[in-house]
Amino acid sequence: MLVFYKERLAFLAVPKTGSTAYETALAARADMVITEPPMLKHAPVYRYNRFIRPMFEKVCTAEMELMAVMREPISWLGSWYRYRQRPFMEGKPNSTKGISFDDFVLAYMKGNKPGFADVGSQAQFMKTQPNGTGITHHFRYEDQPRLIDFLEDRLGVTLNLKRENVSPEMDLRLSADVEARLRRKYAEEFALYGSIP
């Protein structure tokens, strides 16, 4: 998570959306950088609302606008799947080694997900809270120029991004049946992604 106090902007780090590259590029410019532990680095709206927003509200009488990046839902699941294929994951319960992408997504759709498929939800991460705290600025991971333009304009910087934390490339395709089931079960994810300009 990155907070830019003067600009009243908090950049929430949705996992698997390139947040580490932005963190590296903007850390020196940010007023607050949370990189550890992962529960705070990747704090969703509800956690921001509960712990970080009150700090700015009570100490500084300031309200931040929130921004977040969302990845196309199948691509996002593919990124998790590929990340968990990396050699350092081998032998760990969260490894996807030896599991097909279809089986990974089928496991993700279960009510009681096995560890390797328990990766959360982008829509839940960004869910607006009852007090109105929510994402002010949504961006698509697949539209980096719009995101970069926004940050350069808002922060008065020129960004030089480097690819970081990149998972191995793989040709991942879901079978038509599994994709149709995913789109039905997680319609909210696809609708939110579709609503982002």
Give me the residue spans of the domains in the chain: 2-195
pLDDT at site 88: 87
Match 């120029």 to its residue by tokens. Answer: 145
pLDDT at site 150: 98
pLDDT at site 71: 98
Match 């977040």 to its residue by tokens. Answer: 68
pLDDT at site 163: 77
Counting as low any pLDDT under 70, the low residues of the chain are: none
Q: What amino acid occupies position 134?
A: G
pLDDT at site 19: 93
Architecture label for domain 2-195: 3-Layer(aba) Sandwich (3.40)
pTM: predicted TM-score of the whole model, two decimal places: 0.93
pLDDT at site 171: 82
H-state helical runs in 64-186: 73-83, 101-108, 122-125, 144-155, 176-185
Residue 94, by phi and psi: left (phi above 0), alpha (psi -120 to 50) or beta?
alpha
Could you tell me how many residues make up the chain? Answer: 197
pLDDT at site 170: 85
pLDDT at site 123: 98
Q: Which residues contact 60 (CB under 8 A, 6 or more apart)?
A: 5
Compute the radius of gyration of the chain from its Cα atoms: 17
**String of b and e for 147-156 (b: at least 16 CB within 10 Å)?**
bbeebeeebe
